[in-house]
Amino acid sequence: MNHDFLWGGATASYQCEGAWKEDDKVKSMWDHYLHEENLENGDIASDHYHRYEEDIRMMAEGGQNSYRFSLSWPRIIKNKEGDVNEKGIEFYHKILDTCKKYGIEPFVTIYHWDLPQYWEETGGWLNEEVCYAYQHYAKVCFDNFKDKITHWVTFNEPKWFICSGYLIGNYPPAHQNPQETIKAAFHVMYANALGVKAFREGNYPGNIGIVHSFTPVNGIDDTVETKIAMRYADNYCNNWILDTAAKGEIPIDLLTALSKIYDISFIKPKHLKTIKENTVDFLGLNYYSRTLVKPYTEGETVLIVNHKGKESKGESKVILKGWFEQVLHDPNMTYTEWDTEIYPKGLQEGLIEVYQRYHLPIYITENGVGVQEDVSVDQVQDDYRIAFMNDHINAIMNAMDEGVDVKGYYAWSSFDLYSWKNGCKKRYGLVAVDFEDNLKRKPKKSYYWYKEMIQNNGKT
């Protein structure tokens, strides 16, 4: 086994911990929003807060040597004044000590979407003050856990939570406002740089990166119009995060295009200087699928929904007038129950492209398939998940053969958990969690397959 390569699974605090009010944790924007809207929530989720020992032990028994999880801001920082909740700190020490006990390397995300509600009430990511609050929170994490964590991630998927929260409106704060989207997006990338700055200034051990929801862009043909649409789509899907975090530069053609329609005067030289001077050490790519596009010039449409709700099957695409239109449903391709195209080749091609562009080490920080499963059986026979992971891991190995520096792979998810807005019925886990029967854990067939694959160093 190649001991340097990290093989594991991933989770996120809100999606698995539960214990939403325990030990002085305050409300996150997700707690608030899902309760207000009366939607299925993560109050209990997989109850990882109480069952972490069993979960981490199962990771080790499944041959995994790493665990990607996130820290919860509302568990760690009590209020706008920045006071620390020692019980929150203690909880993550217990997780980290358990990882150590089982020989599991922690790979830790500082922010995976659970903004404290007390900050959301001041305007959330539209408020520049939140960027400095994030920096304070990140510093508290570095100071408290520096001896136990060496792989740090500033943010999980800025595109997904910003576009869903401010443009599409299906995630909290559920706005539909392009002007706000641009401002919130910018603030998150600025906060990313502030987090990196705090990390560098504190001289903490280890590395820091960002995790991006990576969708390589393909065009439907080779025409000039399609190539232009592809560039717009790449800016929308990838470059505003990757260029900004890795090179310290917001793509200039994106800024020019935006400034013709929107106000970007909130971007000041001091922000750009911080962004330029504080770039990341590595890139984490979450890969679920690609984006196939064609030009879109007609009609009045600014944007149409892009969400992963099952009800929207066949409609979950992005259209930006004058920029591009996402193409769905190529009859030759296969799609998941939730409308995601299965396209492993995109991972291989995308990895090569990203590595050529940024020359940074890459981790595949999420990859998996969401399915409705009957978990009352002794063992879920998830051959579809095995096939999915097998094909994507092969794609990674091929990219590595071509020289790409991939350092780890994380299945989404380590065990079944809460899927944003879909609730617990959309399952991704290697281990089944029976939400109807006492949250019992039972490894799926894929868990054993993954163990063997890890022992073979990624050869299947």
Q: Which is nearer to ligand BGP, 156 or 192 (CB)?
A: 156
Minimum CB–partner distance for residue 159 and ligand BGP (Å): 9
Minimum CB–partner distance for residue 331 and ligand BGP (Å): 24
* Cβ atoms within 10 Å of 94's Cβ, excluding its own: 12
Minimum CB–partner distance for residue 257 and ligand BGP (Å): 26
DSSP assignment of 95-127 equals HHHHHHHTT-EEEEEEESS--BHHHHTTTGGGS
Minimum CB–partner distance for residue 71 and ligand BGP (Å): 14
Minimum CB–partner distance for residue 113 and ligand BGP (Å): 7
Q: Which is nearer to ligand BGP, 235 or 367 (CB)?
A: 367
Separation of alpha carbons 157 and 113, rounded Å: 9
Q: Which is nearer to ligand BGP, 156 or 274 (CB)?
A: 156
With beta carbons less than 8 A apart as the criterion, state whether 280 and 196 touch: yes
Catalytic site includes residue 128: no
Identity of the residue numbered 349: E
Tell which residue, 346, 373, 391, 392, has the closest CA to residue 431.
Answer: 373
- Tell the residue number behind the tokens 């990196």, with chain if given: 196
Return the percent helix, strand and coil in the chain, to nearest 5: 45, 15, 40
Q: Which is nearer to ligand BGP, 12 or 168 (CB)?
A: 12
Q: Which residues contact 391 (CB under 8 A, 6 or more apart)?
A: 342, 344
- Residues at the interface with ligand BGP (CB under 6 A): 12, 15, 156-157, 160, 213, 286, 308, 366, 370, 412, 419-420, 422, 426
Separation of alpha carbons 230 and 208, rounded Å: 30
Minimum CB–partner distance for residue 146 and ligand BGP (Å): 25
How many Å from the N-terminal Cα to the C-terminal Cα in the chain? 13
> Nearest-5° angle of CA 151, CA 394, CA 441?
60
Q: Which is nearer to ligand BGP, 67 or 204 (CB)?
A: 67
Q: What does each C-alpha distance from 352 to 234, 281, 437 come to in angstroms?
A: 15, 18, 44
Which residue among the candidates 17, 157, 325, 341 is catalytic per the annotation? 157
Q: What does each C-alpha distance from 2 to 7, 437, 450 come to in angstroms?
A: 10, 38, 15
Q: Which is nearer to ligand BGP, 85 or 156 (CB)?
A: 156
With beta carbons less than 8 A apart as the criterion, state whether 225 and 289 touch: no
Q: Which is nearer to ligand BGP, 5 or 160 (CB)?
A: 160
Q: Which is nearer to ligand BGP, 209 or 248 (CB)?
A: 209
Which residue among the candidates 180, 325, 366, 373 is catalytic per the annotation? 366
Tokens of 104: 């599991």
Separation of alpha carbons 341 and 358, rounded Å: 26
Separation of alpha carbons 163 and 176, rounded Å: 9
Q: Is 3 helix (H, G, I), strand (E, B) or coil?
A: coil
Minimum CB–partner distance for residue 456 and ligand BGP (Å): 27
Minimum CB–partner distance for residue 415 and ligand BGP (Å): 13
Separation of alpha carbons 217 and 221, rounded Å: 12
Which residue has its beta carbon closest to ligand BGP? Answer: 419
Q: Which is nearer to ligand BGP, 156 or 278 (CB)?
A: 156
Minimum CB–partner distance for residue 272 and ligand BGP (Å): 28
Phi/psi for 14 (5° steps) reads: -60, -35
Longest dimension (CA), the chain: 59
Separation of alpha carbons 76 and 78, rounded Å: 6
Catalytic site includes residue 436: no
377, with CB counted inside 10 A (0-12, 13-18, 19+), is exposed
Catalytic residue list: 157, 366
